Amino acid sequence: MSIAVYIIVMAGVTYLIRMIPFTFFRRKINSRFFRSFLHYIPYAVLSAMTVPAIFYTTDNIWTAAAGTAVAVVLAFFEMPLIVVALAASGAAFLLGLFM
């Protein structure tokens, strides 16, 4: 099988998954339940993606935990996204130097 065929199929399926709901869903949702569901889903998706995967990002669970802790504290004080993201990485890197 040619690699081009695989790539086209991959890209096509991924695009359709995004495009169909985004393009064809026009109505304002009136159901209070469904509106509530859509209000919460972004937070739930981000949380489920982050935990526990974040602890397996670096080679060592302790450096990942340190990065996570730094991110949580800075996020609690509402620092900008880029500051939180880079500080988490910096903390994991620094602790990694000593492990």
Contacting other proteins within 13-52 (CB under 8 A): 13-15, 17-23, 25-26, 28-29, 32-52
Measure the N-to-C terminal CA separation of the chain; round to a whole number of Å.
46
CB atoms within 10 A of CB 50: 13
Q: In the bound complex, what is the minimum distance in angstroms from residue 34's beta carbon to other proteins?
A: 8
By CB under 8 A, how many residues form the interface with other proteins?
74
Binders in 69-98 for other proteins, by CB under 8 A = 71-72, 74-76, 78-90, 92-93, 96-97
Minimum distance from CB of 65 to other proteins (Å)?
A: 10
Other C-beta atoms lying within 10 Å of the C-beta of residue 88: 22
Q: How far is the CB of 2 from other proteins (least distance, A)?
A: 10
Concatenated DSSP letters for 54-87?
Answer: GGGSSSSHHHHHHHHHHHHHHHHTT--HHHHHHH
Instruction: Tell me if 61 contacts other proteins by CB under 8 A.
Output: no
**C-beta of 72: minimal distance to other proteins in Å?**
6
Half-sphere exposure of 23 (CA within 13 A, CB side): 6
